[in-house]
Structure 1
Amino acid sequence: MDLLEREAVLQDLTGHLRDAVSGPGRMALVRGEAGIGKTSVVNRLAQLADPHIRVLAGACDPLATPRPLGPLMDLAPYLGRAARTALTGALTGTCRSDEVFDCLLADLSSYPSLLIVEDVHWADEATMDLLRYLARRLPSVPALVVVTYRDDEIGRTHHVTALLGTLAGYPWVHRHDLAPLSRRAVARLATGHAVDAEQLYHVSAGNPFIVTEILAAPAESIPATVREAVAGRLAGLSAAARGVVDVLAVLGRRVSLPLLAGMLPATEEALDEAVACGIVRTDGQVTEFRHELTRLAVLESVPAPYRLRVHRQVLTAMRSRPVAADDLALLADHAEGAGDPTAVLEYAPAAAAHAAALGAYREAAAQYARALRYADHLTPDQHTFLLEGHSQACLLSSRLDEGVTSRRRAVKLRRAQGDRLREGEDLRWLSCWLWPGGRTAEARRTGLDAVRVLEGLAPSRELGRAYLNLCQLACYEHEGVAVAAAYADKAIDLGERFGDAGVVVQARFHAAAARMLSEGSGWEDCERAVSSAMAQDLPEDAGFLAFNMCWFTALQRDTAQTTAAVKRAEAYCLDRDLLSYLLCTKVWGSWGLLNRGLWPQAVDAAQNVLSHPSSPPVVRALALTVLGLVRAHQGKAPVWPLLEQAASLVDSNCLLDTGLGWEARVEAAWLAGDHELVRTEAHRGLDALADRTHPWLSGPLACWIRRVGGTPPQVAAAGPHALELAGDWAGAAAEWDRLGCPHHAALVRLSGDAPALHQALTAFEALGARPAVARTRAVMRTLGVRPIRRGPRAATRANPYELTIREMDVLKLLDEGLSDAEIAARLYITPKTAGHHVGAVLSKLGVHTRQEAARKLHHSERG
């Protein structure tokens, strides 16, 4: 596993080691809960140690009777003769322990050393005395002593607590805590796995051991290794402590101590024992399991009749006192566990509404789903209300299929009830979410139905939202500035009339976006709308507009603006739990990386989206297209199966409107040398755009027809596409360079003179675009342009991965864990150039991460 978020600790430890071996010596205490990665950190430290530093490592074992000086026995073969003799004498009773300590100190004094003692929470008394002895004398020794222990298993009376008290006064003893992984790190580890990264973080609380075990066995609700680890800890508990843990597991992850005391009187001593074993912890007046998966593993072993009895007891106890909003979810959970439908319907909808108000849409969806399981106890109006709430929460937490299904049922029920206003509102919501489902034609029909229903009633806030929906669809489907503006004006009028700030800001945004995409103006108005939504604290509107800006900047291939837009939208949507919008943002981010020529990173981002089980169809289609296009660029198979799979997820209009799908098919055909297919696919796309105006969609398709010798129709084109169609290849290439798109710039230069062809060849080679390299060489041969050099240099050909000398330098620096900026400083190049070199190295090695590249380096060196 990659050592994520441990760089700071490793930097500190390597600094201690460097200072210690030159004197004076030091001790480092590395602490954290079980599974947090202490062993991984010290092992990495040993790997980073200079070759002249001797590494000595020993560990304590979880034995009923610990081995005397167990860690010293582990490292004895690497000590000098005197120390080995003394240790043997201590074990046979012919040598005192203080003589062993003296010999070890002398041995450490003779050679720069790194001494690692792991898991001292299991140490015997002699080992504890050894650490006290060494710590006092370290200033005179060229050594760093690293001690690891579990801080979740030491209580007030544990012998490690006494040791820590002894070490507290030594300034050369340093303490390092290993924290759980962040959401971002867990998501990175989950890349390529079909798991919900947010749920993974929730159940693991960022514990690396639990994260990796879940990823290794994704089909298991509780991995066997986790279940066994929990069982092992529980085995040592007394009956009273095990009873406390069982009750806590039923009560939930966080439980108030007064509630626990009411359930199990005289629990203090038993709770202390449970805390000492590391299963639970206390925080003020609350006790909680360290990880949700641990609680679930314990709960799994609690007999069903006992669970039912506890649920009923706690439900009765909680209902006997005033209910706070924060108690609603817990009450709903205990109500269902107690088998009480009436109580479920009392608390679950209220818990859902409370969660939604806080932006916790996953929790809201789960609570609505809980209530809907008892829908036969509801009136039709109550049932419909729950379906609408469930749909909205599902859609915002990226459970698209569930949300659309609930909204369709709500439409039917409202129609049967004769409630035209709410029927129209439900139709509008259904239309909104059919579009990301890839059903653009149905989305438009449903949106028009919503307007027809609502226009038959008095003017309303709901009608304003319905007009806004048609404005959005007009923008996305490029129906023209006038159409989008007409709907926007109607939406703004009703939004201002009924005080709906979200409608007003969104309508202004989409009217401006339609101008930006068709005419090139409107960028500033779009930015003002996003800022306004954020300033007015309209999270759903702001998140929606922020991810749309990622899409629109990616459509215009402006990589700097895309990068900035993605960074803003990711932070905003992550902070507000807007998962659907976050996944959309991430896929536009992968497209931006593709445009920048950072293909391995683009693949990582696309696979991360695909691995998320809640990614909407449009998002999945775009991610698959990114993967297919990168493979086409690199000359790898499969390409067309990925593109066809993407096309199957959405309708043809959606494939075109998103801006990547159709162009990707055309470019893949060109890279395969099939000019006829290039013309066919490009003309199909232009035919679909015949009644619409979008120069960033029609322009590239026309350019591809021109590149293969055809005569493109007169179409609207923007930016570098317009320059290329006008015959200004140099201006187009310069514009692509300005936008930060090296592959596009190289493609345009294929129409240029001999220097341009050489420049294109160099760019394609740096990108690892092998088919394009071959096509460029063919063009050069046809025109009689002699390449400056044929093929890679001798050193490159001798390299098993065809890495250049500079790329080998970069690979070695990657192995040191350096960033692009650090590599640039080391090699006296710009960070941007370093990034291109890193991308080329990853591409040639066929890997996606820097760590994988480093492993290939070590593999080739061993070979």
Structure 2
Amino acid sequence: MSGPGRLALVRGEAGIGKTTVVQRLAQVADPRIRVLIGACDPLATPRPLGPLLDLAPRLGPAARTALTGTLTGTSRSDEVFDRLLADLNAYPSLLVVEDVHWADEATMDLLRYLARRLPDVPALVLTTYRDDEVGRTHDLTSLLGTLAAYPWVYRHDLAPLSRRAVARLATGHAVDAEQLYRVSAGNPFIVTEILAAPDEPIPATVREAVAGRLAGLSDTARTAVDVLAVLGRRDPPHLTADILPDPDEALGEAVACGIVRTEGQVTEFRNELTRLAVLEAVPAARRLRVHRHVLAAMRSGPVAGHDLALLADHAEGAGDAAAVLEYAPAAAVRAAALGAHREAAAQYARALRCADRLPPDQHAALLEGHSQACFLSGSLDEGVASRRTAVGLRRALGDRLREGEDLRWLSCWLWPAGRAAEAGRIGLDAVRLLEGLGPSRELARAHLNLSQLACYGHEGVAVATGHARKAIALGERFDDAGVLVQARFHAAATRVLSEGRGWEECEQQVSRALAQDLPVDAGFMAVIMCWLAALRRDAARTAAAVRRAEAHCLDRDLLTYLLCTRAWGSWGLLNRGSWSQAADAAQRVRSHPGSPPVVKALALTVVGLVRARQGRSPVWPLLDEAANLVDARCRLDTGLGWEARVEAAWLAGRHELVQAEARRGLAALADRTHPWLSGPLACWIRRAGGEPPRVPAAGPYALELAGDWAGAAALWDALGCPYDAALARLSGDASALRQALAAFETLGARPAVARTRTVMRACGVRPIRRGPQAATRANPYGLTNREMDVLKLLHEGLSDAEISARLYISPKTAGHHVGAVLNKLGVHTRHEAARKVHHPESE
């Protein structure tokens, strides 16, 4: 509009989002700027000045006349250039030329002509091209060399999507975001196509795009690409040279078409899905020959540890079962040692496909390894199935020690599978069997398992500590560091739940596990710390515990533990009043295919409770689905199932259902000791007008049941739970009721607001607020002026800290405003909030 002209080169591989950038730029451009967009086409004989023909209707008459003249032969191309330059001088313009890697010579000359004169023209000329298709001899290379001398030319490389971005796009889809990132390498086109067709191993659009690129290759280059696809994602040069007679020229052609790329001495596909699409089309006979050739070549010399996975892959492709059983288990053990549990599970599964020829004890060992890797990598059902089969094999072999160990593992994994009652029975079976064999490391672990189950099941300090002591005694005898830290941890965790003390001891055991290089034990205990903090409604501790556990699990590929962490984290967000963020986090966990039933049930409950508090539907279908995923005992163990149903009934004004559900939950808790479970149920009975029974109740619940609403509210405020504090104030005086009303309104808790107003009317208390200001009433979403300021800054992508600095408010206040905006708009993320207001047509 006011400065010198510029040329922008936007470049990246196919599908990286160049056209999306152009379209977005055109949308946000100042209305006074004329937008001219043309594109080059992949024609065998490109149209002369094809992009100008696309945008001709928006040019001035002189430029249009000159352009028409080139088609009829009455005008020269240099006359078109002059007229276009004059036209650009007349209007501030955005001139886009897409896909210049397909441009004809005249278009290339036009860009050379314009680029040299741009500093005196009120225009931004933007070109896009695929840099993966521009080799040393490409016509565009010469043009880029010319432009390198101009300081007003800017280059913009579009990067692939990050892991976080892919996970964000995957929210609400039943896909593994990490797997999606791995196969797509963050390419936006591939990501969106997989999400659009999640049940297809290779989406048809991706398959067709790859086939289109392959169609232009020579037979030699196509053979080279086929060989690379069989070899794997990265191509060791010596193997390619051994298989292909003249690989350099063939691979150079493949690189030029963008199907593969070179990185140092290695040639690789740009992403795994492209390789799989190519591999799918390779003739079976050619695949078999290449696999056999590579397997023989790799086995002819020394085998390095990092080659084991590749050898196992080629052994399976070559149909050599003996070689599979030689390399796949070794590759699995190495992957597990490196923390790559998904890779370990895949290698064990590969070996198990050939295990029918193995002796039963070796077959059982493979099943045990597969089970362990599956659990840690999020394939719980497969892990449980393998462990059950291993139990049967060990029993048939008469191997009582390993049968007991397998029973113990099976018990461990049935709890997250939502079968707490069966977990307890099998855990006892394991202890009884192993006790008959005398002291052992396996018996120590079996007692540890019962201590863990007693902790999660709130069976009291005596039961959990009794098994922990036995585990510690055996752990010391057999020098098992993992047993020692976990047994001490769970004894302390039980005291945290029952007596409110022991948190520091839990922290010490996590630190001890890390110091002793026990990453799986440390990760497991870090996850349990998240549950403890969320169950006790401690917002600050929950947030800190989740941050630590999430970082640990991401670093060590502990997918199951990571999903548990994120589920407890969503509960923590719910407790501190960040409801939309809580629902968003829970929805990601719910939709992940690797989420265990317990984790999925908790996520469903969080989503249902957020909807209930906001007065949105559906609520009960979500809560019922959560209840049906796990058994009744497991529903109590997690801590939110019964209470959520009772609260949802209260918010709906169904007091009889409140009483029935709460008393049913208390009956199930009759033989347990957990004040953070029984306390809230008793409080809900009281809030619904009933007479609560005398049950163990934690701090704020005990105070509310005793009639000390002010003390209860103060404790909730100290814990960082504004909604619970407001609920406690409903039993208070006029000032307390007004505080509760204000809190519910800030949170967007419409049903609670209505109930509070009913209570106030019954008590003769009039709200001192006059209602929303005129600007708020006029806003279609009920946003205040300050909230509109915050929304504008959300649209700019600012964080809470940046918003607080811009508006001169505290970060905490900024966070409250952001939460209020999300709640009023009925969205889960900051991005959705900005999009809903600024682009309502996309909703």
Same fold per superposition (TM over 0.5): yes
Equivalent residue number for residue 33 of structure 1:
13
Match of 1:113 in 2: 93
User: Of 786, 811, 828, which residue of structure 2 is paired with 1:848?
Assistant: 828
- 1:13 is aligned to none
* Residues 530/49 of structure 1: CA separation in 2 closer, same or farther (3 Å cut): farther
Does residue 552 (structure 1) correspond to residue 532 (structure 2)? The answer is yes
Trace 1:593-612 onto structure 2 (pairs within 5 A): 593-612=573-592
Partner of 1:727, secondary structure, is: coil
Partner deviation per Cα, 1:441-491 (whole Å, 9 max, x = no partner): 221222222222222334322222222212212221222233333333332
RMSD: 2.3
Paired amino acid for 2:244: L
Cα pair distance change 1:343/1:108, threshold 3 Å: same
Aligned to 1:267: 247
Question: Partners in 2 of 1:336 and 1:720 — Cα distance?
Answer: 61
Q: Which residue number in structure 1 is paired with residue 189 of structure 2? A: 209
Alpha-carbon distance change, 253 to 860 in structure 1, aligned in 2, over 3 angstroms: closer
- Following the alignment from structure 2 to structure 1, what is the Cα–Cα distance between the partners of residues 163 and 683? 43
Q: How does 1:686-835 map to 2 (within 5 A)?
A: 686-789=666-769, 795-835=775-815
Q: Does 1:496 align with 2:439?
A: no
**Paired residue for 1:163, among 143, 157, 166?**
143
Q: 1:414 is matched by which residue type in structure 2? A: R
**Counterpart position of 2:464:** 484
Structure 2 residue aligned with 1:535: 515
CA distance in 1, matches of 2:95, 2:321: 61
- Secondary structure in 2 aligned to 1:436? coil
Secondary structure in 2 aligned to 1:176?
Answer: strand
Aligned-partner residue type, residue 686 of structure 1: L
Q: Which residue of 2 aligns with 1:16?
A: none
Q: In the aligned structure 2, how far is the partner of 1:522 from the partner of 1:720?
A: 19
Identity %, equivalent residues:
81
Structure 1 pair 501/104, CA: closer, same or farther in 2 (3 Å)? farther
CA distance in 2, matches of 1:28, 1:159: 19
1:517 is aligned, of 478, 492, 497, to 497
SS at match of 1:152: helix
| Structure 1 pair 191–861 and aligned structure 2 pair: CA distance change class (3 A) | closer
- Cα deviations across residues 322-369 of structure 1 (Å, max 9, x unaligned)? 222222222222222222222221222112112111111111111111
Shift of 1:194: 1.2
Which secondary structure state, in structure 1, belongs to the residue aligned with residue 472 of structure 2?
helix
Match of 2:237 among 238, 246, 257: 257
Shift of 1:622: 0.5
The Cα shift of 1:105 comes to: 3.4
**Cα distance in 2 for residues equivalent to 1:114 and 1:241:** 40
Larger mean CA deviation between 789-798 and 743-752 belongs to 789-798
1:760-813 CA distance string (max 9 Å, x none) = 122222222221111111111111112335765555454444444444444444
Alignment partner of 1:386 is 2:366: yes
CA contact under 8 A between 2:571 and 2:582: conserved in structure 1? yes
* Paired letter, 2:279: L
1:311 aligns with one of 291, 302, 306: 291
Whether the aligned pair in 1 keeps the contact of 2:184 and 2:191 (CA below 8 Å) is yes
Q: Per the alignment, in what secondary structure is the counterpart of residue 116 of structure 1? A: strand
- Residue of structure 1 equivalent to 2:488: 508
Contact 1:362 1:394 in 2 (8 A): yes
Following superposition, the deviation at residue 505 of structure 1 comes to: 1.9
Structure 1 residue 160: Cα displacement:
2.2
Q: CA separation in 2, counterparts of 1:567 and 1:164?
A: 46
Deviation at 1:623, TM superposition (A): 1.0
Q: Does 1:242 align with 2:222?
A: yes
Structure 1: how far apart are the matches of 2:119 and 2:671?
Answer: 81
Distance 1:37 1:561 in 2: 40
Answer yes or no: is 1:439 the counterpart of 2:402.
no
Q: Secondary structure at the match of 1:281?
A: strand
Which residue does 1:17 correspond to in 2?
Answer: none
Give the direction of change, closer, same or farther, for the CA distance of 1:740–1:111 in structure 2 (3 Å limit). Answer: farther
Q: Is the 8 A contact 1:258 1:285 kept in 2?
A: no
What's the CA shift for 1:204?
0.9
* Alignment partners' CA distance in 2, 1:845 and 1:564: 29
Contact 2:174-2:592 at 8 Å conserved across structures? yes
Instruction: Write the deviation string for residues 47-72 of structure 1: whole angstroms up to 9, x where unpaired.
Output: 33333433332222212122222223
In the alignment, structure 1 residue 66 sits paired with structure 2 residue 56 = no
Q: Is the 8 A contact 1:335 1:343 kept in 2?
A: yes
Residue 3 of structure 1 corresponds to: none
Q: Do the aligned residues in 1 keep the contact of 2:51 with 2:97 (CA within 8 Å)? A: yes
1:147 aligns with 2:127: yes
Q: CA deviation at 1:861?
A: 8.8
Helix, strand or coil for the counterpart of 1:692?
A: coil
Q: 2 CA distance for matches of 1:620 and 1:608?
A: 10
| C-alpha distance in 2 between matches for 1:492 and 1:861 | 63
Report what 2:665 is aligned to: 685
Residues in 2 aligned to 1:790 and 1:672: alpha-carbon distance in whole angstroms: 26
TM-score by length of 2: 0.95
C-alpha separation between the residues in 2 aligned to 1:83 and 1:125?
19
- Equivalent in the alignment of 1:669: 649
Higher mean Cα deviation, 707-716 or 611-620? 707-716
2:325 is the counterpart of 1:345: yes
Q: Which amino acid aligns with 2:155?
A: R
Which among 633, 642, 649 is matched to residue 622 of structure 2?
A: 642
Amino acid at match of 1:773: V
Alpha-carbon distance in 1 for matches of 2:517, 2:93: 57
Where does residue 448 of structure 1 map in the other structure?
Answer: 428
Task: Report the alpha carbon displacement of residue 216 of structure 1 after superposing the two structures with TM.
Answer: 0.7
Instruction: Give, in whole Å, the separation in 1 of the partners of 2:89 and 2:813.
Output: 47
Return the offset for 1:296: 1.6
8 Å CA contact 2:94–2:125 kept in 1: the answer is yes
Which segments of 5 or more consecutive residues in structure 1 lack a partner in the other structure? Answer: 1-20
Q: Distance in 2 between matches of 1:290 and 1:222?
A: 15
Q: After the TM superposition, which residues 13-52 of structure 1 pair with which residues of structure 2 at under 5 Å, given as runs?
A: 21-52=1-32
Say if 2:570 is the partner of 1:590. Answer: yes
TM-score normalized by structure 1? Answer: 0.93
What number of residue pairs does the alignment pair up?
843
Deviation at 1:854, TM superposition (A): 3.4
Give the superposition deviation at 1:294: 1.1
Greater shift, 93-102 or 467-476, is seen at: 93-102
CA contact (8 A) 1:587 1:622 kept: yes
CA distance in 1, matches of 2:710, 2:419: 40
Between the aligned partners of 1:862 and 1:703, the Cα distance in structure 2 is: 44
**Structure 2: distance between partners of 1:501 and 1:371:** 31
How far apart, CA to CA, are the structure 1 residues paired with 2:405 and 2:295? 37
Distance 2:21 2:399 in 1: 63
CA shift, 1:254, in A, is: 1.8
Is residue 229 of structure 1 aligned with residue 221 of structure 2? no
Partners of 1:177 and 1:512 lie apart in 2 by 53
Does 1:184 pair with 2:164? yes
Q: Tell me the equivalent position of 1:474.
A: 454
Q: 1:144-167 CA deviation, whole Å, 9 max, x = no partner? A: 332221111111211222222222
Equivalent residue of 2:132, what SS?
A: coil
Alpha-carbon contact 1:58-1:73 (below 8 Å) kept: yes
Ranges of 4+ aligned residues in structure 1 off by more than 6 Å = none
Say which is worse superposed, 729-738 or 436-445, in terms of deviation. 729-738
State how far apart, in whole Å, the 2-side matches of 1:319 and 1:220 are: 35
- 2:605 aligns with one of 625, 630, 638: 625
The aligned amino acid for 2:512 is: S
Kept after mapping to 1: 8 A contact 2:836/2:842: no
Match of 1:97 in 2: 77
CA contact (8 A) 2:98 2:129 kept: yes
Which residues in structure 2 correspond to 1:311-390 (within 5 Å)?
A: 311-390=291-370
SS at match of 1:787: coil
Deviations 1:702-758 (A, max 9, x none): 211222232323332223222222322122222222222221111111111112212
